[in-house]
Structure 1
Amino acid sequence: MKNSLFLSAAVAALVVTSAAAQAADLRMSWWGGDSRHTATQEALKACGAKYGHTINPEFTGFKGHLEKLTTQIAGGTEADIMQVNWPWLPLFSPHGEGFADLNELSGTIKLDNWTKEQLESATVEGKLNGLPVSTTGRVYMFNKTTFEKAGIPVPTSFAELIAAGKVFEEKLGADYYPFQSSQENAVLLISQIATQLSGKDLVDPETGKVSWTKDQLVLAINFYQSLVDAHVVPSWKEAASDGNIMLHEDPRWANGEVGGSYEWDSTYFKYSDPLKASGGVLEPVKILKVDGAVTEGVYRKPSMLFSISKNSKNKEAAAQIVNCLMNEPEGITALGATRGLPASKAAATLLSEAGQVNPILLKANEIVMASEGPSMSPYNEHPQIRDIFKDTMEEFAYGAISADEAAERIIEDANDTLSELN
């Protein structure tokens, strides 16, 4: 009996010792608002308790987070687990070596919860640098109430949208427009048209150069100008004279004087909420296509990634926590939809079945996920590339250069910048 009790005690001590040896002290960093901070801390407690790890939270607002992360990564002091903005991949991992390769942790992280395209979007030179937390994309959204006021249905094609310009002007007045496209939205619209015509993303993944031809980009720029000429969108100059107000903060949007826009599906409520006072109803629709389009040209991307530090001393433990946050009920339930509709199939299914996803947000996301288009490069959103587009298009909009000159300059300057960045 004594020997039996001694053996039981020894086994118990061995189990405790083993568990203690496996326990890890980890750190996780992210940005967000109060609701995200609270939910993430609860998720870390739940997942930490499940696997016997302690995870210290490090959170901030978005402003200043890139600078903080840049300093940490430069000094090798970054957290074990990091929330990383997708466009930052070229900054921190131009050749895929800036973060741990999660392919090597596939025994712990259930990668089959993501599609091949989702994993490729976070892969750099064969190394999986992070897991998409949610997948977002640009969709066309129209104020159904304003179109009813004009006596026409919500557009389902560019031809219908262009025809709406004249109707809005005649029936509602010169201050009413069926669509908004200025500054960054104009750049994104032109980029989508060029993608539809070419079937290619801005950046060729093989050469690292602009994949569009000059003629394709000229057609896209001229198409944008045709929308201005047809009273579909306010001119660049008109938008500038109004102060380039953010659309969701513009009283004209709230009052229904602007009938639609091209926005991220995940920001639906940011644009629908201001319409409530005027009785507006915002309806997401399938992507509009130009004549001659070979693809819908959907702009679909990870909204953000969960990555693991290449310097982490406990990568396996970090992988357990990442898998728990993204694929297991303890983490999924605590996080909820605080980072949008989850990209993980397991998380999306659990939240949908629990009724935690708003149906209209689900509809907008379904449009994004069902649409066709080439994989998008993070360089689309690199500040230098975006500035080249905006600065050149401003000159074009003010009549200083032609569409031919604008297309040539964008391609040449973007190629020069891409060469420097690579």
Structure 2
Amino acid sequence: MKRTILAGLMAATSLTAANAADLRMSWWGGDSRHLATQEALKYCGDKLGHTVSPEFTGWTGHQEKITTQLAGGTEADIMQINWPWLPLFTPTGEGFADLNDFSDIIDLSQWTDAELATSTVNGHLQGLPLSITGRVPFFNQTTFEKAGLDLPKTWDDMDKAGITFKEKLGEDYFPYEASSPTQSGLDIRLLITAYLTQKTGKTMIEPDTLEFNYSKEELVDGLNLYKKFVEDGVVIPWPKVAAGGNLVLNENPEWANGHIAGTYAWDSTYFKIGDVLEEGQVLTASTIPLAEGATNDGVYRKPSMLFSISKNSDNQDAAAEVVNCLLNDEGAIDILGTTRGIPASKKALEQLEAGDQIAPEQMKAHQIILAATGPTISPYFEHPQISQAIGDPLEEFAYDQIDAETAADDILYNVEDVLDRIRN
């Protein structure tokens, strides 16, 4: 009997040793993510019998690093990938391993079909969404109450708030922050896109066909909304923001003291932008203001990032085991917490909620995003060439160098030129 048990133990040990793999995993982030991920990799590695070497950096330069590694076939076995990078790294769905092939190892049932579809290219699952994020309005409730106003429910409410702020609070008060010139005017593009998506029921770039969905007339309508917001004091004009040094919101004293009372930000940034407010200022998440006749909320919702597996890895099964452990194992879930946002994995979300590991304010913003409606967006919206194609005419328009009709013509021409080159 003892010999039988000993033989079984020896066989099990031999099997573990034979299946043990030396893996690499790369990611970007801050110190809290770095520390938690290294601890989780140690936990999963010990549990599975694998060794996982960490490779981590800050955000700056990480895309360039991954680009170089993928070009040379030297990438890590497991990679944290930014969702907008999918068109760059896997335009045909063959840049990374197809995670559908590991459904016997990774519990894909923890994600909805819609969530998996966001990272599926030509039928190939190119990564697992780590969290679903989106843009949500955050308002300084204290400033709105000071002006005697409820939080805006429509874009018309927002416009009227700009006028009321000037009358009751002063010329240096603004109900919304959507004129940041960073990233080719991304905040303004998101404002216009939300408005047009609500009115037309169409997203800007069709995910499947890469067609640009907005007509010249629709673009002119969106551009004029932004212009009206500038004229009525809803948002600070682009030139004035640029002259002030292009301060990011959480470093802007006008935000901290409540003179800027609203923004359209990622739901995960609640504490980043909320903790800097002066004492007595209350920040709250709100639903997206609606256009007259809106067909949907116009939500901008996407995976914040993905875990992908290298198609060149010699140990793809082992890498899949580690990915499943990181995202679906109770021990790893506790270690990682919300270091990559509120988890998309149902098991992880339920576990963190049950353990009160998600702040109510953060959860409120997240639930608004999940409940909001709108067509599926394309990762090409954040493609660098698309950003520039829209951002350049938008900047000229914001500086009154061209009118709305000319800006719309230029946007259509520029974007179609980029999309034609991508499609071909």
Q: TM-score range by the shorter chain?
A: over 0.9
* Secondary structure at the counterpart of residue 27 of structure 1: strand
Aligned equivalent of 1:63, options 60, 81, 85: 60
**Structure 1: which 5+ residue stretches go unaligned?**
none
Structure 2 Cα separation of the partners of residues 171 and 9 of structure 1:
84
Q: Deviations over 1:344-376 (max 9, x none)?
A: 111011011001100000000000000001111
Is the contact between residue 177 and residue 234 of structure 1 (CA under 8 Å) also seen in structure 2?
yes
Q: Deviations over 1:364-395 (max 9, x none)?
A: 00000000011111111111111222211111
Aligned position for 2:393: 392
Is the contact between residue 254 and residue 278 of structure 1 (CA under 8 Å) also seen in structure 2?
no
Aligned equivalent of 2:274, options 272, 275, 280: 272
Structure 2 Cα separation of the partners of residues 193 and 161 of structure 1:
12
Amino acid at match of 2:40: A
* Secondary structure at the counterpart of residue 157 of structure 2: helix
Aligned position for 1:218: 220
Superposition misfits of 4+ residues, deviation over 6 angstroms: none
Shift of residue 278 of structure 1?
Answer: 4.1
Aligned equivalent of 2:119, options 113, 117, 122: 122
Larger CA deviation: 330-339 vs 194-203: 194-203
**2:189 equivalent to 1:192:** no
Structure 1 Cα separation of the partners of residues 160 and 401 of structure 2:
28
* Secondary structure at the counterpart of residue 262 of structure 1: strand
Aligned position for 2:70: 73
Amino acid at match of 1:146: T
Structure 1 Cα separation of the partners of residues 305 and 410 of structure 2:
31
Aligned equivalent of 2:33, options 20, 23, 36: 36
Aligned position for 1:336: 337
Amino acid at match of 2:367: E
* Secondary structure at the counterpart of residue 12 of structure 1: helix
Q: TM-score, normalised by structure 1?
A: 0.96
Q: Deviations over 1:147-202 (max 9, x none)?
A: 11112222222222211111110111111111111132111111111211221222
Matches within 5 A, 1:92-171: 92-171=89-168
Structure 2 Cα separation of the partners of residues 267 and 249 of structure 1:
13
Structure 1 Cα separation of the partners of residues 155 and 319 of structure 2:
48
Amino acid at match of 1:192: A
**2:176 equivalent to 1:179:** yes
Is the contact between residue 166 and residue 173 of structure 2 (CA under 8 Å) also seen in structure 1?
yes
**Structure 2: which 5+ residue stretches go unaligned?**
none
Query: What fraction of aligned residue pairs are identical, expressed as a percent?
Result: 53
Aligned position for 1:377: 378
Q: TM-score, normalised by structure 2?
A: 0.96
Structure 1 Cα separation of the partners of residues 275 and 167 of structure 2:
28
Amino acid at match of 1:364: A
Aligned equivalent of 1:258, options 257, 260, 280: 260
Is the contact between residue 25 and residue 55 of structure 1 (CA under 8 Å) also seen in structure 2?
yes
Amino acid at match of 1:179: Y
Aligned position for 2:291: 290
Structure 2 Cα separation of the partners of residues 356 and 145 of structure 1:
27
* Secondary structure at the counterpart of residue 289 of structure 1: coil
Structure 2 Cα separation of the partners of residues 400 and 189 of structure 1:
21
Is the contact between residue 153 and residue 290 of structure 2 (CA under 8 Å) also seen in structure 1?
no
Aligned position for 1:229: 231
Amino acid at match of 1:247: L
Structure 1 Cα separation of the partners of residues 171 and 145 of structure 2:
17
Give the paired residue count: 418
Aligned position for 1:246: 248
Shift of residue 294 of structure 1?
Answer: 1.6
Is the contact between residue 47 and residue 325 of structure 1 (CA under 8 Å) also seen in structure 2?
yes
